[in-house]
Amino acid sequence: MHNNTIIAVWEGVDGAGKTTLLKKTIEILKSMNFKTLSYKTPSDTPTGVFAKKYGNRLDIDHLTRMLLFLSNTSDDSSKMKREIQLNNPDYYFIDRYYLCSIVYGLALSKLRGEDIDNRELIQFIEYIEKVGSKVFLKPDIYIIVDVSEEVRRSRLREKESQGGIEEEIERDVRLQEMVRQFYKAFHDLRRLETLWIENVEGKLEENAQKVVSKLLELKKTYRIPLS
């Protein structure tokens, strides 16, 4: 928690419907008179633009890519803190944060032949959180959104048909499965801090209500008066 604001980080494989669920959750919270702000990484700040432009090139090695995206989440943390300080929202949603950079970086490393497993994930996260304790916002909850591979691919095809650009990373089924497994390892490690959502078709409202219930529960845990 930063000031009286609960920090919720949204994560998940590409095409899981994470951002759609996030927006629906905000809609419900606003109807309940809660003030909610969101921030998406990689951003349009200089580090975010460079990470997207250079880090997404197919000839870039996995370590360089991970560090570029990680630097954006680190660099943008000061901007997020200023937003919270100025606006004092009840909830601050971060659409992918440093966990995403680490998970995708290690998944790419594993895909390209490195000997990577859950131990490296845990060690890397703990190290980054330690050295970045005064840089990063500390998440109160991680909302990890997942979906079956069949539905995920269907959603990506729909995105592409609507003019969206499907990245190579999004299309790579093996990579996305590795990403999913790393997210599951994180969930198993920090069950009290994570909410795993299976975002199946036709369950958007139900899943959003589930997230809202968890967020309201956090307010009670911290004994913050409900709006």
Q: What is the CATH number of the domain that holds 34?
A: 3.40.50.300
Average pLDDT over residues 58-82: 94
Closest by Cα among 105, 112, 115, 129 to 182: 105
Q: Domain for residue 227, yes or no? A: no
Is the predicted pLDDT of residue 3 greater than 80, yes or no? no
Where on the phi/psi map is residue 3: left (φ > 0), alpha (ψ -120 to 50), or beta? left
Average pLDDT over residues 134-162: 86
Question: For residues 9 and 150, what is the distance between their CA atoms, to the nearest angstrom?
Answer: 25
Question: For residues 152 and 176, what is the distance between their CA atoms, to the nearest angstrom?
Answer: 10
Question: For residues 14 and 202, what is the distance between their CA atoms, to the nearest angstrom?
Answer: 18
Task: Report pLDDT for 162.
Answer: 59
Please name every residue paired with 145 in a beta bridge, in sequence order, or none if there are none.
Answer: 12, 197
Domain of 33, in residue numbers:
6-221
Please name every residue paired with 40 in a beta bridge, in sequence order, or none if there are none.
Answer: 95
Q: How many domains does the chain have?
A: 1
Mean confidence (pLDDT) of the chain: 90
**Secondary structure of residue 79 in the 3-state scheme:** helix
Average pLDDT over residues 140-149: 94
- Tell me what percent of the residues of the chain surpass a pLDDT of 90: 73
Q: Domain for residue 1, yes or no? A: no
